Structure 1
Amino acid sequence: MTTTRIAIAGLGAIGKTLAKRIAGGTIPGTTLACVASGDAAKARAWLDSEGITAPVVELAAFPDHADLAVECAPSAIIEEICGPMLKAGKTVMVLSCGALLPRPQIIELAKAHGGQIIVPTGALLGLDAVTAAAEGTIHSVKMTTRKPPRGLIGAPYLIEKGLDMDKITAPTLIFSGSAREAAKGFPANVNVAVALSLAGIGPDRTTIDIWADPSVTRNCHEIEVDADSAKLSLRIENIPSENPKTGRITALSVIAALRKLRAPLRVGT
């Protein structure tokens, strides 16, 4: 079995989980080649505390070390992460997929140089079924998201509208619109909706309602898909990680996707 060398961009909750799993040898066929972080000294100290020997490098150096980079960083720097790898004809696994919508040049870069962008299932249920339905005709896709108000704090849409999440005392619909609009207004919160749209009928026809709901402790998503091949009703409740904007299952989804790379039996599209 050949080994896939993995680079990790960002050492937040997701990046640390991945680094420990890969370095611990629990994902066959992979090795942790390097990491990049906004605070290199802090990253080096954490790696040393975990007994992980991977080097801390600049994003531009990823292609020299790795075959595949996993983006676990702020969406604003997605081009700095993807650009060098894609120009080298390599692969990037993108979690901040909402950042791809206003940056079509990243996808064009992959096309031009034979690179690949992978969007893992993340915190969402049923992407395989939606992808299959898209081979036929999908009439509509609607998503309803409910999150604890504190998990939405800092979203540009809320700042623009002057909405204070600390004042939410009952379930409140704070946004209704397309997945593209949602990705712009809530870049750290609705990557699930963008992944759904990319799997199905696109970000302009996929609609989403976002509720701030103080009665929930999990990130809840309901999806309704009407297609010529099936009608799908999907619901998932994700337990937040130490970062309330991100579910614990997101990191596990990346691990599952990496495991598929070299698995002798691969289940799911």
Structure 2
Amino acid sequence: MSNSEVPQNTDDPRHALISRVARRVREVRKQKGMPRRVVSELSGVSPRYLAQLEAGEGNISIALLERVARALGMPMEVLIARNICVDPEAQRIAQLFEKAPDDIRAAIKDLLQVDKSASLRAGRICLMGLRGAGKTTLGRNVAKAFDLPFIELSSMVEDDTGIPLAEVLSLYGPEGFRRLEAEALERVIKRTGPFILSVSGGLVEQEAPFARLLSRCYTIWLQTSPAEHVARVRPQGAMQLAGDDEQQAVAKIKSLVDMRTPLYERAHAQLDTTRTSAQKSVRDLVSLITQMKFLTH
């Protein structure tokens, strides 16, 4: 490199590129706390050459720049591109994002659209909670009160497979059901217009679908006491409680509630239906939705 090679016209794109590369190399090296000597040893480029590069004193071949970038632990494009963040943590996150599955990337994009989240959720209400909290009963009645469609993901899974839910779980297993429910949820989210939605109690344990749900729907956690959960689901033939006496069943439900509470608490609102009639719970839920302006914001 020689000073005679440095373009003097600041409008020259070559000068802008050389200056940008010089600045990026300096920034990245300092952020990583790497002495020039270490970069030289790792890249095989002489310290004098690196000093000239960081000073913007001339051109550098693509081959040598690639060796410098590799020594700095950065993609070469980070040193060249016009608008790019050189923060190492940002680069690490960007690399993880590029390797992530499509559903995770979609969920991350939704979470980053903070300014649009309210408009995306408006009129789209999801009821969640353990089985027996009243999601189906209240969901149908509230949908009727607001003249909205009621959608139950478990029913969609039954329609998709052509078999009852109990057989779905037996044939596909819990993981298979979760996959089918996540696919059904994605179809619902892509719908236009308002609705009342009910999801399974375990959907909150699926990180990407739950994040997607939170970003596209107003969520309401319906809850009741463990004893009432048991009293409500036993007549429905709940398989997970088969063979348990009353005390064992209540303890099992309590343990499940305790485990999922941190996830359910991420809901936009909560409604406790303990010792409350279905009619009053419907009125309470209608009032909550109205007060929270879930249908308009």
TM range (shorter): 0.3 to 0.5
**Greater share of strand:** 1
**Greater share of helix:** 2
TM-score norm. by structure 2 comes to: 0.32
TM-score norm. by structure 1 comes to: 0.34
Instruction: Please say which structure displays the higher CA radius of gyration.
Output: 2
